[in-house]
C-alpha cells in the first residue's frame, strides 16, 4: 500500500446498476454516462471501461479538460459531450475530435461556425433550452435569430441534440416547476420542428427525472449519481419504494474506502486522547490509530462523531481527527490487531457505512461527498 488507504470500485455493483436503470428507461432510450467530477470521485479511468463493457457508448462531462480525460480512455466508437465550459481554443479541439458540446449563447455558436468553416469539419452541437432552471440556455425569445443562424450554416453544424436540465426533479416540492419546464421544452421542440430543424437526440433527464418522470426520458438520459449506486434523494428512493418497484437492492454502491489499523494503544482512565481535551477515557481503553486524516478526505468535523468498521463491528472515532490520522475505540473488540482492515465507507461482514454518514449531521449531499474524495487515493477495480 503506497498510499495509506485505497478505494475499491465494484464491477458487479456497477453492472447491476446499469441493468437496473436500463430496465427502468427501456431498451430504446440511449444512456449517457455522466462522468464529470472524475466520475463522481470514482475515477474516469475506471468507470469509462466499465460503462463500455455494460454497453454504454455516450459520455457526458462538464468541461473540455474532463472530455480529454474521457477521450484518452474511451473507445473511438463512443461519443463524448461537453455540457459546460470550453475556451475558444478548446472549442477547436472539440470540433476536430468529433466531440459534441452544448451551445447556450450566440458567442459560442458564432465561434463554432467560424471554426467549422475554417476546418471543414462540422461542429456537433446540442442546443440548450432555458426552460426555468436559469443557469445556462437560450431563452425562447432568441429562437428566431438562432434558427436563422443554424439554417444558414446547415453545412457547418450538426444539430445533435436539444436539451435542458430540470431544477430539482428529486423533490416533489418542485413538481410544479418541473412540469412547467417539460411544457416549455416542448414549446422549443415545436419551434425547431416547425422550421424543419430536427435535433438528433432530445435529452432532458438526469437520474432523478429519469426515475420519477418517465415522460422526460425521450431519446437519451444523462445518468450520473444513480449509476454509482446512489439515489438522487431520499424522496426519489421512497417514491420508488411506494410503487413497490424498489427494495434495498435496487441500486448498489460502487465505492468502498478502506485502510488498516496502523497501531494500537492502551489508555488509562482520566487520560485524554488526541489534541486538546475533547475526549477523556473513563475506563481502561484500547485505542486503534487509523492512518487517514483530513488531508485524505476524512473531515475534521468527524472528530468524536464518525464511525468505521473493524472486525465486523462499528466503532466510534474518539478525539480529534488530525491531518493524517484518527483514533477509534476498540476496547470491545477482543482480538483486534495491527493490520486489521478498517472500512471507512462500504461493507464489512453484515454492517455497512454509507458515504452519507460523512454528512456530519449537516445537509451535505452524496454528490458533494463523492466529488471531494481526494484524487490521489488509489482506486482499484474489484
Ligand atoms: C450532473 C448533470 C447530470 C447528471 O445528474 P445526476 O443527478 O447525477 O444523474 C445531468 N445533466 C446535467 C446537465 C448535469 O450537469
Among protein residues, the one with the nearest Cα to ligand 1's atom 11 is: 206
Pocket of ligand 1 (CB under 6 A): 34, 36, 83, 165, 206-208, 222-226, 232
Among protein residues, the one with the nearest Cα to ligand 1's atom 10 is: 206
Among protein residues, the one with the nearest Cα to ligand 1's atom 8 is: 224
* Mean pLDDT along residues 249-263: 92
Residue 363 CA, ligand 1 centroid: distance in Å: 19
Q: Is the predicted pLDDT of residue 243 greater than 90, yes or no? A: no
Residue 223 CA, ligand 1 centroid: distance in Å: 6
Residue 113 CA, ligand 1 centroid: distance in Å: 27
- Per-residue pLDDT tens digits for 177-210: 999 999 999 999 999 999 999 999 999 999 999 9
- Residue 170 CA: which ligand 1 atom is closest? 7
Among protein residues, the one with the nearest Cα to ligand 1's atom 3 is: 206
- Per-residue pLDDT tens digits for 281-318: 999 999 999 999 999 989 898 999 999 999 999 999 99
- Residue 62 CA: which ligand 1 atom is closest? 15
Among protein residues, the one with the nearest Cα to ligand 1's atom 13 is: 165
For domain 11-242, give the CATH number: 3.20.20.10
pLDDT band at 248 (very low <50, low <70, confident <90, very high): low
Cα distances (angstroms) measured from residue 145 to each of 139, 225, 249, 314:
11, 36, 50, 62
Among protein residues, the one with the nearest Cα to ligand 1's atom 6 is: 224
Residue 40 CA, ligand 1 centroid: distance in Å: 11
Please choose from 165, 221, 232, 369 the residue to mutate so as to test ligand 1's pocket, defined by most ligand atoms within 8 A of CB: 165
Count of Cβ atoms closer than 10 Å to residue 140 Cβ: 15
Residue 212 CA, ligand 1 centroid: distance in Å: 14
- Per-residue pLDDT tens digits for 49-96: 999 999 999 999 999 999 999 999 999 999 999 999 999 999 999 999
Selection from 204, 206, 255 nearest residue 233 by Cα: 206
pLDDT band at 363 (very low <50, low <70, confident <90, very high): very low
Q: What is the DSSP letter of 74?
A: S
Question: Residues 6 or more apart from 259 whose CB is under 8 A from it?
Answer: 4, 5, 6, 290, 291, 292, 341, 342, 344
Residue 64 CA, ligand 1 centroid: distance in Å: 16
- Residue 222 CA: which ligand 1 atom is closest? 10
At residue 362, the pLDDT reads 40
- Residue 165 CA: which ligand 1 atom is closest? 13
At residue 371, the pLDDT reads 84
Which residue, chain included where needed, has cell 472549442?
A: 91
Q: Quote the CA–CA distance of 25 and 18 in Å, as a whole number.
A: 10
- Residue 36 CA: which ligand 1 atom is closest? 1
- Residue 34 CA: which ligand 1 atom is closest? 4
Fold exhibited by the domain 255-353: Lyase, Ornithine Decarboxylase; Chain A, domain 1 (2.40.37)
| Sequence ranges of the domains in the chain | 11-242, 255-353
Please choose from 206, 208, 234 the residue to mutate so as to test ligand 1's pocket, defined by most ligand atoms within 8 A of CB: 206
**CB hemisphere CA count around 112 (13 angstroms):** 30
Strands (E), the chain: 6-9, 30-34, 58-61, 79-82, 100-103, 123-128, 157-163, 201-205, 220-223, 255-260, 263-267, 285-290, 307-310, 313-318, 326-329, 341-348, 351-353, 379-381
- Residue 208 CA: which ligand 1 atom is closest? 7
Q: Is the predicted pLDDT of residue 245 greater than 60, yes or no? A: no
Amino acid at each position: 500500500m503506497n498510499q495509506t488507504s485505497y478505494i475499491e470500485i465494484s464491477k458487479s455493483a456497477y453492472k447491476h446498476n446499469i441493468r437496473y436503470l436500463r430496465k427502468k428507461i427501456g431498451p430504446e432510450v440511449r444512456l449517457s454516462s455522466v462522468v464529470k467530477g472524475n466520475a463522481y470521485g470514482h475515477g474516469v479511468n475506471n468507470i469509462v471501461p466499465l460503462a463500455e463493457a455494460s454497453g454504454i457508448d455516450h459520455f457526458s462531462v462538464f468541461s473540455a479538460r474532463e472530455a480529454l480525460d474521457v477521450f484518452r480512455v474511451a473507445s473511438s466508437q463512443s461519443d463524448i459531450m461537453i455540457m459546460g465550459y470550453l475556451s475558444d481554443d478548446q472549442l477547436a479541439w472539440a470540433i476536430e475530435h468529433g466531440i459534441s458540446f452544448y451551445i447556450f449563447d450566440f458567442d459560442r455558436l458564432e465561434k463554432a461556425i467560424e471554426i467549422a468553416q475554417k476546418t471543414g469539419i462540422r461542429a456537433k452541437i446540442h442546443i440548450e433550452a432555458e426552460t426555468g432552471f436559469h443557469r445556462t440556455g437560450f431563452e425562447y425569445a432568441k429562437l428566431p435569430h438562432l434558427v436563422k443562424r443554424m439554417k444558414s450554416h446547415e453545412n457547418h453544424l450538426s444539430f445533435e441534440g436539444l436539451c435542458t436540465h430540470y431544477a430539482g426533479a428529486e423533490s416533489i416540492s418542485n413538481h410544479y416547476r418541473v412540469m412547467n419546464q417539460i411544457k416549455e421544452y416542448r414549446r422549443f421542440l415545436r419551434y425547431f420542428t416547425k422550421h424543419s430543424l430536427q435535433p438528433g437526440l432530445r435529452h432532458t433527464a438526469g437520474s432523478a427525472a429519469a426515475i420519477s418522470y418517465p415522460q422526460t426520458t425521450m431519446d437519451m438520459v444523462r445518468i450520473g449519481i444513480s449509476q454509482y449506486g446512489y439515489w438522487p434523494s431520499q424522496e426519489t428512493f421512497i417514491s420508488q419504494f411506494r410503487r413497490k418497484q424498489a427494495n434495498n437492492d435496487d441500486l448498489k454502491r460502487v465505492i468502498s474506502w478502506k485502510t488498516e489499523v496502523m497501531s494500537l494503544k492502551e489508555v488509562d482512565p482520566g487520560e485524554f486522547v488526541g489534541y486538546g481535551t475533547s475526549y477523556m477515557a473513563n475506563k481502561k481503553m484500547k485505542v486503534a490509530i487509523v492512518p487517514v486524516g483530513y488531508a485524505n478526505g476524512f473531515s475534521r468535523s468527524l472528530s468524536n462523531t464518525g464511525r468505521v468498521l473493524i472486525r465486523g463491528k462499528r466503532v466510534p472515532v474518539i478525539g480529534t481527527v488530525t491531518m493524517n490520522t484518527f483514533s477509534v475505540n476498540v476496547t470491545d473488540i477482543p482480538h483486534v490487531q495491527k493490520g486489521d482492515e478498517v472500512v471507512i465507507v462500504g461493507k464489512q461482514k453484515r454492517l455497512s457505512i454509507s458515504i452519507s454518514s460523512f454528512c456530519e449531521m449537516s445537509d451535505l449531499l452524496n454528490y458533494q461527498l463523492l466529488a471531494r474524495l481526494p484524487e490521489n487515493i488509489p482506486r482499484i477495480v474489484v
